[in-house]
């Protein structure tokens, strides 16, 4: 006789397969779909979202969950049941009409953003964004009433289960207390030793070959993934078919290269999630911040380390050409240069948290109704001036229109970037304790011990443990932001 738990597993397996199709359609939409296909694709994806929502909110699931609670399940099955119920509860809070409307509004806003951003068209963009915000507030209100929390916390919980804005305020408040001084000290220190800047152009095909070569070094499985181009770098698809993208600039090959390394971190996590539980919620990535920890582990902890840069240096010179700016010493300094700028995805490690905190503060006020879409540009400029000394007045393209997350209503996502950076620093410290010779291994290109550690401590567990427990198991302590501070001081002030 089929048990209630097995029936639930079958339902979530079907949902996973439909999600697979939606993920690949979404990747295609952002990479190769012709502009004229936008409306039809958006409608098709909205229809799929509604269909999956109806599957997940089927009334009979409630009875199945009650019966499954009485079953004798092992610890993995119990974790899977918990994640199933979490997904079910999240879905039942929203009517299908809202799911469809939000999907359609997000598709329209994202597609229009692609042409509006280059044109610096804030007025056109804000018209679409207003509808996305209206629907996101409606969603937030429904979730907040059910959970008994604030509207923003209700959305934050979707991306980072258990996290609250009160916790973020404490963590980010501490960061804002010491980061500006550290940033200023490092900028002043680096100004004492000018860095030679590479002279382009750098052929896009050569940049692509460099990216593919470094992806191979980082263990990317090309039998289950590929590299493409998009307006905004991302990692999408599914574990069996991971798609990562970057964007190329003929005058700056490092931007694309670091984008590739970052997205490869996401991809390695996806490609190594537990295959024996594939198709079930417990096999999914633990949380958005844990996902970001893997990309920032690869990019910041590993990819921008002197040891790794020394290892890939010959590949860089072979494909980008030999010039004074690409000597081994200058290449390392170039990649570790701290230079506050407009663009978050191109930001250095020290500037990056300022970009994230700015977005967190704005989006929380937006969802809570303290500000409106019209207020974003002035508030953005004010916060950029305060944190990084950068003027964005009238420059919407490089200011509040630069990111894609708000276009589809992903409010609550941005804080996970800096949480991920903190997790990554803490994880790398644990790697150093477990593998004392890790720097020398990285310099030699022997990265498998690092990947084995990640596999053992993070990747293989999927969503089996809550984020805090996963981090505790891997490092011996809960989140400790001091590891992040020590990492930054060690890298940028010790030499």
DSSP string for residues in 214-262: HHHHTT--GGGEEEEE-SS--EEEETTEEEEEE---TT-HHHHHHHHHH
| Helices 253-271 & 204-217 angle (0-180, nearest 10) | 40
Rg (CA), the chain: 22
pLDDT of residue 2: 64
Nearest to 366 by CA among 400, 411, 417: 411
Cα torsion 476, 479, 481, 484: sign: positive
Q: What does the alpha-carbon distance between residue 457 and residue 469 come to, in Å, rounded to a whole number?
A: 11
What number of residues does the chain have?
495
pLDDT of residue 292: 96
Could you list the residues known to form a binding site, using ranges. 262, 266, 292
Whether the model clears a pTM of 0.85, i.e. scores above it, the answer is: yes
pLDDT of residue 345: 84
Q: Measured in whole angstroms, how far is the alpha carbon of residue 403 from the centre of its chain?
A: 12
Of all residues in the chain, what percent are helix, strand and coil, respectively (each to 5)?
Answer: 70, 5, 25
pLDDT of residue 346: 84
pLDDT of residue 494: 86
pLDDT of residue 495: 63
The catalytic residue positions are 263
Q: What does the alpha-carbon distance between residue 437 and residue 422 come to, in Å, rounded to a whole number?
A: 23
Could you list the residues known to form a binding site for Zn(2+), using ranges. 262, 266, 292
pLDDT of residue 1: 44
- How far CA 441 is from CA of 200, 256, 430, 483, 492, in Å, comes to 32, 25, 16, 22, 22
Give the pair of three-digit tokens for residue 236.
């999408």
Domain 160-494 top-level CATH class:
mainly alpha
Nearest to 196 by CA among 330, 337, 329, 316: 330
Nearest to 418 by CA among 366, 360, 342, 469: 360
pLDDT in tens, the chain (495 residues): 469 999 999 999 999 999 999 999 999 999 999 999 989 999 999 999 999 999 999 999 999 999 999 999 999 999 999 999 999 999 999 998 999 999 999 999 999 999 999 999 999 999 999 999 999 999 999 999 999 999 999 999 999 999 999 999 999 999 999 999 999 999 999 999 889 999 999 999 999 999 999 999 999 999 999 999 998 889 999 999 999 999 999 999 999 999 999 999 999 999 999 999 999 999 999 999 999 999 999 999 999 999 999 999 999 999 999 999 999 999 999 999 999 999 998 899 999 999 999 999 999 999 999 999 999 999 999 999 999 999 999 999 999 999 989 998 999 999 999 999 999 999 999 999 999 999 999 999 999 999 999 999 999 999 999 999 999 999 999 999 999 999 999 999 986
Q: What does the alpha-carbon distance between residue 430 and residue 356 come to, in Å, rounded to a whole number?
A: 25
Q: What does the alpha-carbon distance between residue 277 and residue 289 come to, in Å, rounded to a whole number?
A: 22
């Amino acid at each position: 006789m089929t048990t209630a738990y097995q029936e639930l597993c079958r339902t979530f397996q079907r949902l996973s397969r439909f999600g697979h199709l939606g993920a690949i359609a979404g990747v295609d939409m952002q990479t190769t779909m012709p502009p004229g296909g936008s409306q039809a694709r958006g409608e098709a994806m909205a229809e799929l979202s509604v269909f999956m929502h109806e599957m997940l909110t089927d009334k009979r699931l409630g009875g199945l969950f009650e019966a499954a609670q009485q079953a004798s399940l092992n610890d993995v099955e119990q974790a899977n049941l918990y994640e199933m119920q979490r997904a079910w509860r999240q879905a039942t809070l929203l009517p299908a009409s809202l799911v469809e409307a939000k999907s359609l509004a997000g598709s329209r806003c994202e597609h229009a953003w692609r042409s509006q951003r280059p044109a610096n068209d804030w007025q056109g963009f804000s018209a679409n964004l207003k509808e996305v915000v209206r629907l996101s507030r409606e969603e937030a209100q429904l979730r907040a009433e059910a959970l008994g929390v604030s509207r923003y916390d209700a959305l934050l919980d979707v991306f980072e289960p258990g996290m609250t804005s009160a916790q973020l305020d404490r963590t980010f408040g501490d960061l804002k207390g010491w980061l500006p001084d550290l940033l200023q000290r490092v900028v002043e220190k680096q100004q004492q030793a000018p860095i030679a800047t590479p002279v382009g152009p750098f052929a896009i095909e050569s940049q692509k070959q460099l990216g593919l070569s470094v992806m191979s070094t980082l263990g990317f499985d090309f039998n289950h993934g590929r590299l493409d181009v998009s307006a905004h770098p991302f990692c999408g698809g599914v574990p069996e078919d991971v798609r990562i993208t970057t964007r190329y600039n003929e005058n700056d090959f490092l931007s694309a290269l670091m984008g590739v390394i970052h997205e490869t971190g996401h991809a390695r996590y996806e490609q190594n999630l537990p295959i024996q539980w594939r198709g079930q919620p417990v096999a999914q990535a633990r949380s958005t911040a844990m996902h970001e920890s893997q990309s920032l582990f690869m990019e910041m902890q590993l990819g921008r380390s002197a040891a790794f840069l020394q290892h890939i240096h010959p590949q860089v010179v072979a494909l980008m050409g030999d010039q004074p700016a690409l000597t081994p010493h200058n290449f390392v300094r170039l990649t570790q240069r701290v230079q506050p700028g407009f663009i978050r995805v191109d930001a250095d490690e020290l500037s990056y948290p300022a970009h994230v905190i700015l977005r967190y503060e704005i989006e929380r006020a937006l969802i809570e109704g303290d500000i409106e879409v019209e207020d974003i540009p002035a508030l953005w400029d004010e916060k950029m001036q305060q944190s990084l000394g950068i003027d964005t007045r009238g420059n919407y393209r490089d200011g509040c229109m630069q990111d894609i997350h708000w276009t589809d209503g992903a409010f609550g996502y941005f804080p996970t970037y800096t949480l991920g950076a903190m997790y990554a620093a803490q994880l790398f410290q644990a790697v150093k304790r477990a593998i004392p010779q890790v720097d020398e291994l990285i310099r030699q290109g022997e990265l498998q011990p690092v990947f084995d550690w990640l596999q053992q401590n993070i990747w293989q567990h999927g969503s089996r443990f809550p984020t805090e427990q996963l981090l505790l198991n891997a490092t011996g302590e809960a989140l400790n932001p001091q590891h992040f501070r020590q990492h930054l001081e060690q890298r940028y002030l010790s030499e």
